[in-house]
Structures are given as structure tokens and as C-alpha cells.
Amino acid sequence: MSSTQDLDYPQILFQYNNGFLVSKIMFTACELGVFDLLLESEGPLSSDAIAERLGTSASGMERLLDACVGLKLLGVEMKSEGAFYRNTELSNLYLTKSSPKSQYHNLMYYSKTIYLCWHYLTDAVRDGKNQYERAFGVSSKDLFGALYRSEEEMIKFMYGLNAIWSICGRDVIAAFDLSAFTVIYDLGGDFFKDPIPEADLYILARILHDWADDKCMQLLAKIHKACKPGGGVLLVETLLNEDKTGPIETQLYSMNMLVQAEGKERTPTEYSKLLTAADFREIQVKKTGKLYDAILGRK
Ligand code: ASE
């Protein structure tokens, strides 16, 4: 019997139980600048040196660094003077601020905003709505007002959400041959209020997942009206399996849409129905094998 199925020692349950402790260790090391310091330093550094440079307690830093080693976010070597820490390839690539593939802003958005909303997950399931009122004291009635509740929060949100495209952007854009589309409009801002300009292709990247079906159909109908004949719409979303048994990341994101937005993650069939309802045709779905997939519909 595999260890994850051993009912006398429920390893998988311990793992799930500790999931948010792991997240918080990674967020904290990032926030304190551990990975940035180790990128810039000439060689491996001692815990005391890192603590001093980052202005933290020596005791707290030593435990944080050792936990990062346990998580394989740092490497360690034992010298006669003690332990010396260095970044792994993974942390150099993704956890330093200056890397082109940096996920720093995404992690900070998780740590500072998403984490607080998830504190009220039970309430979100009970109410069936997002938790901005409980978490931040702002009205949940206006999703734009809640997501962009201050200039600072809006910037955190934009930077946070942007980080993933350095990893998934290329695959999403390469999923279809878009060379026939001349004028391409990447939808953002308050597209329910603002007029939508005429274009050949509208990109809706992580837009529909924020909204309930009625709002999605309203928006798609508005886009269909503005769209040039022969034009189309490209949806960029993470897709659930048709039977909704996975993937687990998409299921987690769908729970996040419950606590943070008004929508949910959907299956290819669900997106196709929304597009069809707005009169888009020739709907094609392309899975990329990464987090975000692409769906193309034509006018
Ligand atoms: C949105 C996307 C996100 C609205 C709120 C959001 C993301 C986080 N919060 O359109 C990015 C996707 N990540 C998750 C965890 O859902």
C-alpha cells in the first residue's frame, strides 16, 4: 500500500493540513528579501550574516532558512564555521525580484490579499459570495471597486496577476494562428460601462472567470456587436475537466473566485455555451498543458 493511502498514518492529511504553513514560509522568505540577498551575494552566507543584512532576529532567520532548505527553496553546506545557505536554481529563477520570470509579485498578492480572503472561506461557502466586506470592510457589491479598492491595491493586483505570463504567455498566444487578425484588443478596465472599440480579435484573459454566466453573456454580446465580421474572441482561462474532477490547481482557483470574485472556473463545454449564446461560432479549444488554455470563437 502506498504511504499516501495508509489509514494508520495519514500522510496526505498531514500534508494538506500543513499546506498553508508551507505557503507562508515561502512568502515570508520572499518578502524579507532572502532570495534577492543570496542572488546578489558573492557566495553562500551564514544565517547570522543574512539576519544582520535583512534586519531580522538571528533565531527567527535560522529557522526560516532551515525550513526553506527542507522545502528545497535553499541549499546548505556545512563548513567548520557552521551552515552556509545559497539559492537553488528554482529560487534564482522564480523567487528573486529581478529575474525575468520572477513570481515575486504573484506571491506577495497571495500573501497580502488572497490569504486574508481565504480566512473567510467557510463564510464564502455559506454565503455563496466573495468576502471583501469581512476581510477588508469594502462593499462586495462592486467587484471592480473591491479588487481595486486603493491605488496601491490595484497596482499589487496588476503586478501579481501579470507575473504568470512570463511562464504561460507564450503557449497561450501560440495555441492558435492569430496572424489573420490585424487589430487586436486586450480587454481590461470596466468593460461593462465603457464602449468597446472595433477590432478583429478581442483577447479576454482571465476575464470571464470573474463573472457569473449572465454577466459573461452580457459582455460577450457587447463584444460580438463591436467585432468586425470574420473577427473573433480569444478566451484565456484555466480549464476544468469536463467531469470537474480536476485539475486540482483549477479547482483551487475556482474556490478563489468564490472568495475573491463573482465567477468560477469552467469546463470547455461551459465556455463554448457562453460563446454560442452570444452568437460566436467555430469554437475551438486548445489545451496548452500548462496552467492557462485558449478558446477561440469566430463572428
Ligand atoms: C482575477 C484573477 C485572480 C481576479 C482575482 C484574482 C487571480 C488571483 N485573484 O481575475 C489569479 C488566479 N489565481 C487564483 C488563485 O485564482
Residue ranges per structural domain of the chain? 3-94, 104-298
Q: How far is CA 220 from the centre of its chain?
A: 23
Q: Is 130 a pocket residue for ligand 1 (Cβ < 6 Å)?
A: no
The one catalytic residue among 105, 119, 209, 224: 209
Please give the model's pTM, rounded to 2 decimal places. 0.96
256 CA → ligand 1 middle, Å = 7
228 CA → ligand 1 middle, Å = 30
Q: Is 132 a pocket residue for ligand 1 (Cβ < 6 Å)?
A: no
For residue 239, pLDDT beyond 60: yes
pLDDT digits (tens, 9 = 90+) for 52-104: 999 999 999 999 999 999 999 999 999 999 999 999 999 999 999 999 999 99
pLDDT digits (tens, 9 = 90+) for 164-183: 999 999 999 999 999 999 99
**Ligand 1 pocket test: which of 260, 265, 266, 293 has the largest number of ligand atoms within 8 Å of its C-beta?**
260
- To the query of whether residue 209 is one of the catalytic residues in this protein, the response is yes
**What is the CATH topology of the domain spanning 3-94?**
Arc Repressor Mutant, subunit A (1.10.10)
Residues 6+ apart with CB under 8 A from 279: 221, 224, 299
DSSP 230-259: EEEEEEEEPPPPTTS---HHHHHHHHHHHH
Q: Does 3-94 match 104-298 in CATH topology?
A: no
105 CA → ligand 1 middle, Å = 13
Specify the CATH architecture of the domain 104-298: 3-Layer(aba) Sandwich (3.40)
Of ligand 1's listed atoms, the one at least distance from the Cα of 209 is 10
